[in-house]
Every structure is written in structure tokens, then in C-alpha cells.
Amino acid sequence: MGKYEELAKEIVRNVGGRENVISLTHCITRLRFKLKDESKAHDQVLKDMEGVVTVMKSGGQYQVVIGNHVPDVYADVLPLLGLEEGGSQQAEEGPKGNLFNRFIDIISGIFQPILGIMAACGMVKGLNAMFVAMGLYTDTCGGYMILNAIGDGLFTYLPLFLGYTAAKKFNMKPMLGLVIGAIMCYPSIQGSALEGGEVLYTLFKGTIFESPVYTDFFGIPLIGMDYTSTVIPVIFVVYFASKCEKLFNKFIPDLVKFFFVPMLTLLVTIPVGLLVIGPVATFGSNIIAEAVMSVRNFSPMLAGAIVGLTWQILVIFGLHWGFIPVYINNIMTNGYDNVMMPFFACTFATSAVVLAIFFKTKDKKLKEMALPNFISGIFGVTEPAIYGILLPLKKPFIISCIAGGIGGGFYGAFNFRKFMMGGMGIFEFPAMIEPDGSLGNLYVAIAGALLSMIIAFIATMILYKEEKPETAGPGEINQAVPEKITEEKKAGSILAQCQIASPLKGKVLPLDQMKDDAFASGVLGKGAAVLPEEGKVYAPADGEITTLFPTLHALGMMTKDGVELLIHIGLDTVQLNGEGFKAHISQGEQVKKGQLLIEFDMDFLEKKGYCLETPVLVTNSDDFLEVAAVAGEQVTPGETLLKVLK
């Protein structure tokens, strides 16, 4: 295990445990779980967990946003789930959701595993073009040829990689998908190779689908298509193959399954794929490319502004994955993309907003977050800035969207294009160099990025104002601050505050309204009570379990801030002698905030006639200036229940 072992354990525990996980992938900043039951995940606990930025639910995925170090966390999570790289458990299926969510889930699952290497190869290709444009060498020298091979290799044989990832997504043997991709790239069946022969006849003559036929398959015409560097055909062919493989697995005897199933799958899939699915999918790809170009041609500036304005919103919900195939298909079909590329402005707009906040804020913690998030954004990774800073502050996020829209409109007006996959953030600029080496498009890219940054920076400096917390508002302390605290402030003392999270989900009750006089009087300590709605108790802070009663109805703990806590589950429940309770920890154990401590059977306790009011007390209240409950009728595990001033 690596350095994120503890974080990995907490994440797995709070997504419902190993048994609740169907599959796990990751992108640049997020762990993307597919869960059997999302209601078993503890959203608030995960959100409050150190090392987790936030939690999102989109496209049938449960997304835990980590940040730039997500590959390291992913590597530590996989062994806990008993999964290998690519992490899926094919034997079980979770809820499928609606068609749109399933589409997003499929697209992200197919493209995520190769996006990093695609960016790397594209970056090399872009640098190669830049070096030629700078006159460092020519496009005929050996250095150019080798770098071009590095940059072009993946894109030329893209169907092999997509075949592999699509097979994993469709629960088929990945190597079979790889072979299908290789067959579709086989030189002699490419349309460009067939064109050297004699035309037998022409199909769909006089239409946009006009196709000369050079050969046939037992009398069935084989339409010549070039499948190298394509995206859509291999995905559909592999999907069809997955259905065939599943069918053959049902009736082929186990003794010969090992080789008969893949053989029969290929014998059925490849002819159908090359004769029907491939040509239809290729026609579809061309139609999509023409359609999106037509939309853009209607008003390039408006189209660019819409993309730039909405892109970050799509990213928040993970919906941007639905447009990735369009973007890649445009580059592979037309040699460039100018429809989706206005989103390039959003990266720099977001970075500039964060930089402005860094200069303007007086909040030390916010300032510490802003600078690394600015650097991360410049290199193309904006999720930490969005979730950690912009969304909580609201107005800066709106500014970044508007600035991105203005930059996108600028890009649309000047026909900004990207000619190859490659890089992120500033490393994406080489991909803007035109194939002939001219730099006009690159200058447009730089100008649009600067325009977005300047607008975003100035607007944030003018419009962003730090809000002072209001007293007695939602989520604030609902008890009057005693006079001695006011006097301490006047004396110039600095007050430290620590927060105690709720260990339960339920309704918050003031301590003095409890049915038990001993707790209600406060003689045992200040705090609050929770009327639970779920039979689980979680650690309200990091610390040590100092006391675990043999009856499991109550426990004591000492937090790392020196707060002694008593959590007493129900009233008079000691009489049950542990019946209906299950402990997940032992006395003396170190626990992390959000860790499951005890489970109890609510129905059983209620049938036995016990009151479930659960006090959460600070038993060393006299050591602190004040212990105050937080306003609000409902609370979930991880949300602040008590604030302790010292």
C-alpha cells in the first residue's frame, strides 16, 4: 500500500464498503465509482474527509473528487476492493439509470483510460510541429520521423485501444476487443488499399453515401472504409461482439470454451462489422461531423460563446463526457476541431479568477488553497479550483463562466481550431499550430486565453467581496456567546475553535429538552442530543476511543483537540446488555472522523420501548470557554453539531 492507505480505507468504507462497489475508474481528479446502492454511501462524511474535495453524482457514477494526486489514491483503493487496474466486477450489475446516464457512463468508461496517454502523444506531436515551425529541423530528417511516430502511433491505431477499453466496458474479454481493433486496422481491408482495384459497381449513387465497391464477401458488397484513426465504428463493432460472446458462452461446452467462444465471436462479428456496422457507423460519424459544423457555421461567435459559457457547468456534473467523442471525431474526420475548442478559454478564465482571489483575500486558508489551484489550472486541471474555491464562493464561479463565454465567442469569431489531440492547459498550445507550420491559429489561441484571463481577473478584483459571517444565521451558533468570551476578545486574546461533527443522522434536540434529567441538566457536560433516523454511529472527530461500555450502548473518546466526548445511544439502553448493538471498534483504538463506530437496531430498541434520544456531550466542558450547539433541525453524519471555543 502507498502513502494514501488510510484515506483509501476511509473512502472504501464510506462508499458502502467493498461489497457495494461494482467498478472503479479514475480521471484526472476524480475516483469514479459505480455502486450497487448509492444510498449506502455517506456523502457528507466523504465531503468533510481530509483529502477529499467533494462528492458528485452524475451519469450513473458516484464521483469522489480528490485532486491531482488521484492516481496514487486510486492505486491504494484498488487492492481494498480486490480489483485489478481498470477495476470492474463483471459478475454483478448495478442500477442502469436512464438512457442519458448510461450513455455518459459508457463514453467516460471507454475514453478515460486512454486520455492521459492521448494527451502525452498529442503533446509530442505538437512539439514536433513547433520545432519544424521554429526551423530547428525539417520534416524530412530522422528526428522528425521518430517524434512523429511517437505522436501519431496511438492515433493511427486508435481502434486497437478503443477496442480494448470498450470490451472492458461491455464486459467482454479485453484482448478480444484488442484483436477486433487490430483487424479493423489491417492494411489490405482499408478503403485506401481497395481503391487500387477495379470498381465493380457503385452503391447509393448520387447521394452523400455514394460508395464504389471493389470487392465482395461471398456476393455481399464490401464497402471500402478507412478505419485507422476512427472512433465510432470500433465501439459499435465491439458492442455487437460482446453480445455474441455472451450468447456463445451460454451453450458452448466448458471443455472447449477457451478457444471456441473467441473463434466463433470473431467469425460472426468481423464480417457483420465490416459489411454492415462499420460502414453505417462511418456514415454516422460523417453525418455527426457535418451536423456540428453546420451548427457552428450558423453563427461561429454565438456557438463559441455558448460552449465557453456552459463548459464548466457541464464539467461539474460530468456531462462533458458526452461531447468528447464529437471533439475526437472532428479531429479524426476533418483534421481539426473548431466546434468544441472554445472550451479552451474556460481553463484560463478559471485560473485567473483563482489568482485574483489569491491577491484579494485576507483569509489565510483560502490564500493557501488559491495559489496551488491557480498553478494546477494553468496546466489544465481546474476541478480542485472549481469545487474547492469557486463553487463555495458562488460569484467567482459565475465570473469564470462569463469570462469563458467571452473567450469562447472570440475563438468562434476567429475560427480557432485544434489540429491534433494533445496536452492540457499551456501544454495544449503546440496542438494549435497549423499542419503547414504557420502560426496564425496559435496567435489566436494565445490572444483568446489572455482575453479570458484579463476579463476574469479584473472582474473578480472588482466584484468579489469577502462576506463576514452573520450571527444567528443558518448553521451559526444558536446560543448566546457568554460575557467572558467578549471580555477575552477585548483583552486581545485569540480564540481557537474546534468543531465536533454529528455522529448520527437525525433531528437535533437542545440538551435541556431531553427526557432524561441527568443529561438535560448539563451536569454530565454540555452538548446536544440527536433523535436518530439511522442506526449507525460515526466518529465525530479524529481521536481515541477511551471507553467502550461492555453493553455497547455508550462510548467515550478523546479528540486530538483535547475534547472529551460521551455518546450515549438512547435512554436506559444499558439494560439490554448489548442486545441490538454491534461494535466496529475496540477500546483504545485510534479512529478517524467519519469512521463507523457502532451499529444499533432501531426497530428492535423501539419495540422494546426505549427512547432513542442520543446525547453527545463534552464531559470536560469546564476546560473550555464555551460549548455551543449549531442551529438547524436536521443533521447528517459529518455535519457540525457542536462548536468548542478555547
Residues annotated as part of the active site? 27
**Please, which residues bridge with residue 212 across strands?**
202
**How long, in residues, is the chain?**
646
Q: How far apart are CA 238 and CA 232, in angstroms?
A: 10
The torsion of the CA quartet 46, 49, 52, 55, rounded to 10 degrees, works out to: 20
User: What SS3 state is found at 233?
Assistant: helix
Angle CA 563–368–319, to nearest 5? 100
The H or E element that residue 53 is part of is none
Sign of CA dihedral 549, 550, 554, 558: positive
- DSSP character for 388? I
DSSP code string of 326-350 = HHHHHHHHHS-B-SSGGGHHHHHHH
Strand order in the sheet with 30-35: 21-26, 30-35, 61-65, 54-58
Cβ proximity of 189 and 180 under 8 Å: no
Q: How far apart are CA 274 and CA 272, in angstroms?
A: 6
Q: How far apart are CA 568 and CA 350, in angstroms?
A: 47
Neighbours of 205 (CB within 10 A): 10
Q: Which residue has the cell 476546560?
A: 623
Choose among 556, 560, 558: nearest CA to 616: 556
- DSSP character for 91? T
- DSSP character for 172? S
Q: How far apart are CA 47 and CA 639, in angstroms?
A: 10
Please give the backbone phi and psi of residue 572, each rounded to the nearest 5 degrees, phi first: 65, 15
Cβ proximity of 365 and 372 under 8 Å: no
Neighbours of 399 (CB within 10 A): 26
**Residue 434: CB partners within 8 Å, gap ≥ 6?**
417, 419, 440, 441
Q: How far apart are CA 629 and CA 646, in angstroms?
A: 15
The H or E element that residue 240 is part of is helix 232-251
Neighbours of 476 (CB within 10 A): 14
The H or E element that residue 547 is part of is strand 543-548
- Estimate to the nearest angstrom the gap between the alpha carbon of 267 and the chain centroid: 38
Neighbours of 216 (CB within 10 A): 13
